A and B are shown apart, each in its own frame.
Chain A
Amino acid sequence: MAVITIFSASYCQSDVITSELSQRLGYRIIEDHKIIEKAGKLYDVAPGRFEKTLYHKTSIFNRFTHERERYVGYFKSIVAEYLKQDAIIFHGYAGHLIPKHISHVLKVCLIADPKYRVAQAVKAQRLSEDEALKRIHKDDEGRREWTEYVLRKAPWNPSLYDIVLPIDKTGLEDTIALIAGNARKGVVQPTDASVSAVKDFALASEVEVALAKEGHAVDVAAQSGKVTITINKHVIILSRLEEELKKIAKAVPGVSEVETRVGPDFYQPDIYRKFDFEAPSKVLLVDDEREFVQTLSERLLMRDVGSAVAYDGMQALSVIENDEPEVMILDLKMPGIDGIEVLRRVKAEHPRVEVIVLTGHGTAEDKKTCQELGAFAYLQKPVDIEVLTKTMNAAYEKLRRSKEKK
């Protein structure tokens, strides 16, 4: 059977909905405080302190104690234990900690208009409307703080859930029926893969707890005993840190192998780039040879140039629509809309974008056409990265001058 998680804005009748669902489906309800109680017992933390640390803004002392990371880790490991069982509804914050690839979990979010929630609050707590509104704001703030902390996303972000239900519009009965109906669907039933994903999640949580106890806050993933630790905070003496993390992780029972890797934030182009005004910061690379374009993107990153990548003309045009680059590096020979057509449209609709044509099979005629259409430069593959960088900087310089004139 599927597992259901219900996260709700305050005063959206989530208690009523959860208990009704539990009766209809024969599911057991697991509230956050139950998880906290269990984790507190296992790891010897008073529930009050646990709750306070878990839900409230990171204390200034946390930097040294890493208490919050630790408690989130404890919390997660209990959630993972419950997940091994069947027929469960998590009511509260637990759902946010369950990874997406555990596919037999139906994640539900309940929301409602402020008007509806105020009315509910006035009725339930005998508050004035003003008081009710204040309390709702405070509740929302708490939820925002939580999801920002664990997921770096807003609490109502639809990507966090399978269904988001506006209880004021859907109505109590329909909401319950919808959730129950979805929980019975085939896609949220456990599969071999999703069951082993639960085991991986449990192991990763345990490793996370072991690391957090030693003060390390890092991302941990597991796959049948093989643990991958991702380091995002930049350190110079990386090898010693890796050694230490591996040692801690290997001591956790069930771990067969540990690998460390640096995450995308490890090397930070931004810090450095702000000192360098000569290089463009928004570059779009368009080429259907994926390997070439990815390598180029990485090499540019080493030179502190951030770039986006598009693999065909259509993609390129849609990227430009949404976020105009400063410089575009364009291949001519591509399936679908070819490079010359992309150039024509870009120069017509986004004349400020400087286009550098980079091609392997261009003819003299192609070159002439490109120049007439307003390409900034025409380069032949293979290109020396130095030459490309210089050309890019020159193109950016031209753009910057024209901006200054305005």
Chain B
Amino acid sequence: MSYKDSIIGTAMALFAENGFKDTSTADIAKSIGSAESTLFHHFKNKEELLLKILERVQRDIVREVESHLHDAEPENGLAMISGIVGLFFHLSEAKRVEFLLLFRNYPYQLANVNPTCRKIIESIYDFFLGIIAEALIKGQQDGSIREVNVQKQAMVILAMITGLTRFDIFGIMTLAGYHQEIIDSCQRMLCREYICED
């Protein structure tokens, strides 16, 4: 791992755990065991560091999801939706730090003023919306999913699963035992008949 990588990894963990504002560049340097000036040699300031972290989070998540999707062979669009929902919950555990960072307020505040930051975060959400929409379209074609407004339905599904993930990550409630219920809910929402046969 390069020095730059270790800065990114350490800073990501600190930002995710303690928040951006409460993490100083001195804290980051201390955790890696190097001087603050070395840090500034690689990154202009804390903000740029955050942008680099977000870029990396975006790349990692996309890569990981794509490799899983590549291996999966769902029988139809509806099954694909269940797969994506399951994968999302799996990721939220496997990539705890990344998800925690994405649930922090600071990246969104920065996105409010910084177009680069907005575009990186947008591309993460856009990616998930894209794969959900693709599954919905497939489902409508193969008949497993009824007619819905694809874009809006994708947004509702993504909002539901991120909302639930937040519950888990912030310790509001554990999602253990909920996975089946969530997948069933999606199916009830999407399948052809309002009352699905079990």
Contacts and interface: CB of A to CB of B under 8 A. Distances in A.
Interface of A: 234, 236-240, 243-244, 267-269, 271-272, 275, 302, 304, 386
B129 A240 contact: yes
Which bracket fits the contact residues of B? Answer: 10 to 19
Contact of A240 (B108, B113, B151): B151
B144 to A, nearest CB: 24
B111 interface: yes
Given A236-B111, A267-B112, A386 B129 contact: no
26 contacts: A234-B111, A236-B108, A236-B111, A236-B118, A236-B121, A236-B122, A236-B125, A237-B122, A237-B125, A238-B118, A239-B122, A240-B151, A243-B151, A244-B151, A267-B112, A267-B115, A268-B112, A268-B113, A269-B113, A271-B113, A272-B110, A272-B113, A275-B109, A302-B113, A302-B115, A304-B113
Given A244-B151, A302-B114, A238 B122 contact: yes
Interface in B100-143: 108-115, 118, 121-122, 125-126, 129
A239 B115 CA distance: 13
A267 B126 CA distance: 20
Nearest to B152: A244
Contacts of A268: 112-113
B112 A234 contact: yes
Contacts of A234: 111-112
Nearest to A243: B151
A271 B105 CA distance: 12
Contacts of B151: 240, 243-244
B109 A271 contact: yes
B193 to A, nearest CB: 28
Contacts of A237: 122, 125-126, 129
A237 B151 CA distance: 12
- Please report whether the interface of chain A is mostly helix, strand, loop or mixed according to DSSP: helix
A136 B190 CA distance: 56
A307 B121 CA distance: 28
A386 to B, nearest CB: 7
What DSSP secondary structure best describes chain B's contact surface?
Answer: helix
Contacts of B70: none
Contacts of A244: 151
A386 B40 CA distance: 13
A226 B126 CA distance: 28
Counting from the closest, the 3 A-B pairs by CB-CB distance are A272-B113, A237-B125, A236-B121
Interface in B137-186: 151, 155
A215 to B, nearest CB: 11
Contacts of A271: 109, 112-113
Most B CB atoms within 10 A — which of A234, A237, A267, A275? A237
Interface in B47-91: none
Contacts of B109: 271-272, 275
A386 B44 contact: yes
Nearest to B125: A237
A257 B56 CA distance: 37
A272 B107 CA distance: 11
Contacts of B155: 240
A238 B125 CA distance: 11
A267 B118 CA distance: 10
Nearest to A302: B114
B41 interface: no
Nearest to B47: A303
Nearest to B113: A272
Contacts of A236: 108, 111, 118, 121-122, 125
A268 B113 CA distance: 5
Nearest to B154: A240
Contacts of B108: 236
Contacts of A239: 122, 126
A240 B112 CA distance: 17
Nearest to B118: A236
B71 to A, nearest CB: 28
A240 B149 CA distance: 13
A268 B109 CA distance: 9
B44 to A, nearest CB: 7
